[in-house]
Amino acid sequence: MRVRDSMTPVSTGPDPASSISPADGRAGRPAPRADARRNREAVMDAALRLFRTDPTATVAQVAQAAGVGRVTLYGHYPTREALVGAALSTAVARAERAMAEAAVPDGATATEALRALLTAAWPALADGHGAVAAACRDLPADEVDARHAPVVRPLRDLLASGAAAGEVRSDQEVPWLVAAVSALVHAAAEQVASGAMTHDDATASLLTSVVSLVRPA
């Protein structure tokens, strides 16, 4: 099986948090658009950082951590739901980009490709875990699923093609395997966020558990 042919292409565009027009290049003090872009990025970085340990972090806490006023934050994200949705989209975009850049050798088996994808995307997935938790708390389930789809889709396609090639267990349905792998990713991220495991230990345990889960009996 040629793994790359089985994977759905993913976008490698800019983070949603950075999609504001650049400064107009005038000399002297920064242009307002540059200030707005920096504020927006500061808010998003603060939201992702706080959500990692507390998915219930308030807008006021995010604004304080970002070094901006609440009025400034609300100028970019008028509701907490808008902030949480943007944080989830940003986290997904970073993981999506990491998956697209994963070093998957030509001719790799499904389990080899899965290890490569998770190794590449794990730092972004761990960083974005809190945004997922906040989104599951604050946003409708269908919206969370839609925003999460860009990282779920390549995993699903890889497992499906691997099962067809006999490289992934076929005694379990692919949607179940996708859900189980996702649960392991979030469990590993929770262990890191709580301090129960180091990042390296969680990475090793995650990869071992996922490969054991999907490998044919």
For 96-105, what is the mean pLDDT?
89
Report if residue 62 sits inside a domain. no
For 122-144, what is the mean pLDDT?
93
CA distance 59 to 76: 12
Per-residue confidence (pLDDT) for residue 92, from 0 to 100: 95
| Domain total in the chain | 1
Report if residue 65 sits inside a domain. no
Mean pLDDT in the chain?
86
Per-residue confidence (pLDDT) for residue 59, from 0 to 100: 95
**Model confidence band, residue 3 (pLDDT cutoffs 50, 70, 90):** very low
For 5-23, what is the mean pLDDT?
42
Report if residue 128 sits inside a domain. yes
Per-residue confidence (pLDDT) for residue 33, from 0 to 100: 81
Per-residue confidence (pLDDT) for residue 24, from 0 to 100: 40
> What residue numbers bound the domain in which 168 lies?
85-214
**Model confidence band, residue 172 (pLDDT cutoffs 50, 70, 90):** very high
CATH code of the domain covering residue 111: 1.10.357.10
pTM over 0.85: no
Report if residue 172 sits inside a domain. yes
CA distance 7 to 4: 5
